[in-house]
Structure 1
Amino acid sequence: MEPSDNAGWSAAGQQFSAQWTEPGDIFSVLLIIGGDVVKLALAAVAGGSRITPVAFSFGWVAYAISAVVSAISDNKLINCPPEANVQVFNLRSGYSRSNQSWLLARLVKTYPFWMPKEVRSLVQPTSIKRRSWYRTVPPPRIALCVAIYRWREDIKPGEPSHDLVWWSGFAVTLVQLGLAAVPMGLHSDYAVFLTTVAGTILAYLSASLPQWRAEKWHARRTPKDVALTLGNGQQHVIIVRGSTASEGVALDLEDLASGLAPDMLSTRVATTVMAVLWLALLLTCTGINIHTWYLVGVGGIGMLHNIVVAGAPRMPEAMGLPIELVREGRDVGEESAEGRGEAVIFSEPKVMWTLMELERRYKGYGRALLPEFFPGSLRSWEEEWWNPSTSVEKRKELLQKGRLDEQRKQAARSS
């Protein structure tokens, strides 16, 4: 091997070693990637209060530029597509629409996380219950579970409670500032700390724009009974009764599902100014040549936290949609021994039976959902059951006969 080749290999090794020892311009590059994570983290926690704690991380510059484009073209800050294809039904008119609200889609998507224990016990039997089925025929699987919810009286929609996800933003900020202060204390280098402080201030300001609250819960306060579902083939339907709520407590979820945003000129101006400031910070970071690993550490911690915030499931009250199960004792006036009443849930091994039981209790609810789960023709006895002229006694008789016929079929299959 020629001496020049040895010199070339040595130079390459020195360059690699120098880059890993003291990365150059790496933080400025990282600031422009990961904007989608920042966007989702902001959509999750912003709007709840005047100051929203969101970590300074990689991706903020990319997000700031995209926020200007979104604010100017669509008048939106929450420029995230819905994470689930939710169908929204007006149970009084029977009208349905596809949801365009990111917040409403997140509520339904995370239902397995926040569903009450009464609902979970019906659709997900515990291991203790499974062991009790040993050498016995287990109960049939629930085909459709419809849970009835109402708006809470103690919390207003659009005023989310602060949970661990929200408060963790302050804790992460303190950790980042502590890490950034290390080179200041050890080497009298203030650049890393000042950059972190500036980035944190810009992040908090970006997350605290007034439009976050106005857009996130942009809906009328009209009481309305609404059903939310992922559609045919899914196991759950969430019904939120607004007709029984006090004035100003209920949020019109059908209106929220439209995904409309208020037109605020101040947002266009603010996002433009913030984008300029973020670009200024990006240019400033290119001049930092020493102790850059501390900046990478600060950005990495913030990115990890924003990833958690963006995807963490939360309770409805933390999302600004405070709903609770309707309980028969409290709502009818017959308090149970526990003082809370029995939760109103409809769950059957057949989808049709669930809709029928729902219709018997809440007139019009089951009929509004029927075309979604049964778009085709019905059997003769089902058509007779859904005929408006059929009496209550006849409907009860038809449903009982349908259950008996199904039991006979199941017995014939198992024999």
Structure 2
Amino acid sequence: MAPSLRSYLSGLTSRSNGSIEHQIDQPFNQVKAQWRNPNDILSIVQLIGGDTVQTALAASTSPSYFTPVAFSFGWVAYAFSTISTVFGDGTLMPLPDCSATLISIRSGYARPIKSWVLGRIVRDYEPPRDKDKSLTITFYRALPEKPVGVPDRDAIYFLGVAVIIMQIGIACIPGVLDENWVPLIITFTGTILAQASGAIRQWSEEKWNGGKLSREETVCITQGNGSRSVQVITTQSGGHNLEHIAAGPLPDVKSRATTVATIMLAALWVVHLITVESLSSDAWYSVAIGALGMLQNIIAAGAKRSPSAFGFHWEMVEIVSKPKVFKTLQEAEKIKPGVGLALLPVFFPGELRNDEMRWKEEMLRQYKANDAAQVSSQSTMTRDTDSTTLNELDITAQQMSGQQYPEILYPYMLSVYPGTPRLRGAEEGVTSSAIELGRCSPNSFDLGVDAYSMKTRGLHRARSAER
């Protein structure tokens, strides 16, 4: 073979081998480059986890402008999902993740809980575990000295603070080592945007939107029939109305300021996403920062917390638990009259047995007798009151518009003013004790000056005619 031909074939073979090696090495080189500096994946992971961010905000927001929710991957997705929400029903809070019911002891009404916060409290409650106990009822008293809507700082709060500080510290490493301050800029601006999202005032308005109570109220919250726990909360006059909070955010909670702020934040998050895409080196630091923030968001969104961490400050008074559900309800009725009877339709929706029915009828008879005795006692007091006292009461009433009525006039309110809430007896199928249950306490009516004055003047004329 000629030397020239031999050299030609040798060169062809070497080029062929090099081409094959190049084709084999090229994909692996791309993989190695991606693992060495995963900047391409950063812009993608920014779009996942929006639901987790929303739940973390729902659990952590407060009247304070600081929210312990760290910057993470899901903020861009959350920002855009919030735009569709504010243009819809206008709310920021997510739907409850636990199906629960609130029962009012005074009225006997049961309503589904539409408040995310109350639903989470029901979900997180863990009664003492005992295999011999079928139902546990825990009695609480709302603390008047600690206002609703000011959460206590727990371990989850301080974890959020610690993670934010750690993220800033990690972002400073490439700046110190390589004078690359872009990761710090990305982390700092992301943290500022996250804090701005949590500082929107509508969060607090949606979470604690109940009105104030004019008298003591007791409610029960539970997951319903089949649940092993019930929480009974008694709130004094002037406290937050848990029935209002359970109904969910009011329609007027939506504000134009929230809509504008949401749109502006979404636009800024897009700018932030473009900045992340431009990161050409030290991307692993940003990945670590985002992963750390995502872990904190997951913990804040799903961790079990006490009611005080959600802004409801309750003091536990007593726990009732018996081997049988009905026995537990009977014991609860002794502690707080009306609780057992109000929960009876929840845990026993069908027909009662003979002994259970006898107990229910006996309780209703007893409460009706107490009502009758109370009304009779007040009627006797009224008969002993002369016309001068009635005239003085009439004058006082005209000076006390919107205030509570004296107990002495309560029996006549029931007959003179048809709109007055009446004491409920056994024939209506509900508990009725005005004094024990607090349903229709003589001090609890606020009928207005006109009805009050008309009634007292009518009584005065009737007494004068009899004399």
TM-score (norm 1): 0.80
Aligned equivalents of 1:142 and 1:77: distance in 2?
39
Counterpart selection for 1:106 from 117, 120, 127? 120
Partner residue of 2:247?
258
- Shift of residue 163, structure 1, vs aligned partner: 1.7
Partner residue of 1:8?
23
Partner residue of 2:221?
228
Counterpart selection for 2:88 from 66, 69, 73? 73
Letter aligned with residue 114 of structure 2: Q
Q: Report SS of the residue matched to 1:387.
A: helix
- Shift of residue 172, structure 1, vs aligned partner: 1.1
Q: Which moved more, 1:271-280 or 1:359-368?
A: 359-368
Partner residue of 2:433?
none
- Shift of residue 86, structure 1, vs aligned partner: 0.6
Aligned equivalents of 2:20 and 2:108: distance in 1?
78
Letter aligned with residue 97 of structure 2: E
Alignment map for 1:172-321 (pairs within 5 Å) = 172-222=163-213, 223-242=216-235, 245-247=236-238, 250-261=239-250, 262-321=253-312
Partner residue of 2:74?
59
Deviation track 1:164-196 (CA, whole Å, cap 9, x = no partner) reads 211222221111111111111111112111111
Partner residue of 1:141?
132
- Shift of residue 360, structure 1, vs aligned partner: 3.3
Q: Report SS of the residue matched to 2:39.
A: coil
Letter aligned with residue 351 of structure 2: S
Contact kept in structure 1, 2:63 and 2:201, CA below 8 Å: no
Deviation track 1:255-309 (CA, whole Å, cap 9, x = no partner) reads 1111124121111111111000001110111111111111111101111111111
Q: Report SS of the residue matched to 2:320.
A: strand
- Shift of residue 215, structure 1, vs aligned partner: 1.0
Letter aligned with residue 46 of structure 1: T
Contact kept in structure 2, 1:30 and 1:58, CA below 8 Å: yes
Q: Does 1:88 align with 2:96?
A: no
Aligned equivalents of 2:48 and 2:306: distance in 1?
30
Aligned equivalents of 2:187 and 2:334: distance in 1?
61
- Shift of residue 384, structure 1, vs aligned partner: 1.5
Contact kept in structure 1, 2:90 and 2:254, CA below 8 Å: yes
Deviation track 1:111-159 (CA, whole Å, cap 9, x = no partner) reads 11xx5xxxx2xx44xxxxxxxxxxxxxxx71111111111013311111
Aligned equivalents of 2:63 and 2:151: distance in 1?
6
Contact kept in structure 2, 1:384 and 1:390, CA below 8 Å: no
Aligned equivalents of 1:187 and 1:360: distance in 2?
72
Q: Does 1:352 align with 2:367?
A: no
Q: Which moved more, 1:54-63 or 1:304-313?
A: 304-313
Q: Report SS of the residue matched to 1:74.
A: coil
**Structure 2 gap ranges (5+):** 1-12, 368-467
Q: RMSD value over aligned CA atoms? A: 1.8
Query: Structure 1 residues 219 and 373, CA, compared in 2 at 3 Å: closer, same or farther?
Result: same
Partner residue of 1:20?
35
Aligned equivalents of 1:182 and 1:172: distance in 2?
16
Aligned equivalents of 1:73 and 1:60: distance in 2?
20
- Identity among equivalent positions (%) equals 39
Contact kept in structure 2, 1:87 and 1:229, CA below 8 Å: yes
Contact kept in structure 2, 1:55 and 1:169, CA below 8 Å: yes
Letter aligned with residue 324 of structure 2: K
Letter aligned with residue 362 of structure 1: K
Partner residue of 1:127?
none
Aligned equivalents of 2:257 and 2:118: distance in 1?
26
Aligned equivalents of 2:340 and 2:262: distance in 1?
46
Q: Report SS of the residue matched to 1:8.
A: helix
Total equivalences in the alignment: 347
Aligned equivalents of 1:75 and 1:183: distance in 2?
42
Q: Report SS of the residue matched to 1:221.
A: coil
Letter aligned with residue 11 of structure 1: Q
Letter aligned with residue 122 of structure 2: V
Q: Report SS of the residue matched to 1:88.
A: strand
- Shift of residue 364, structure 1, vs aligned partner: 2.1
Aligned equivalents of 2:298 and 2:316: distance in 1?
31
Letter aligned with residue 45 of structure 1: S
Contact kept in structure 1, 2:67 and 2:195, CA below 8 Å: yes
Q: Which moved more, 1:269-278 or 1:219-228?
A: 219-228
Deviation track 1:16-42 (CA, whole Å, cap 9, x = no partner) reads 111111113221111111111111111
Aligned equivalents of 1:170 and 1:350: distance in 2?
46
Q: Does 1:378 align with 2:347?
A: no
Aligned equivalents of 1:9 and 1:253: distance in 2?
68
Aligned equivalents of 1:97 and 1:5: distance in 2?
72
Aligned equivalents of 1:318 and 1:361: distance in 2?
27
Q: Identify the structure with bigger relative contact order (alpha carbons < 8 Å, sequence gap 6+).
A: 1
Q: Report SS of the residue matched to 1:156.
A: coil
Q: Report SS of the residue matched to 1:346.
A: strand
Contact kept in structure 1, 2:137 and 2:328, CA below 8 Å: yes
- Shift of residue 221, structure 1, vs aligned partner: 2.2
Query: Structure 1 residues 37 and 209, CA, compared in 2 at 3 Å: closer, same or farther?
Result: same
- Shift of residue 5, structure 1, vs aligned partner: 4.1
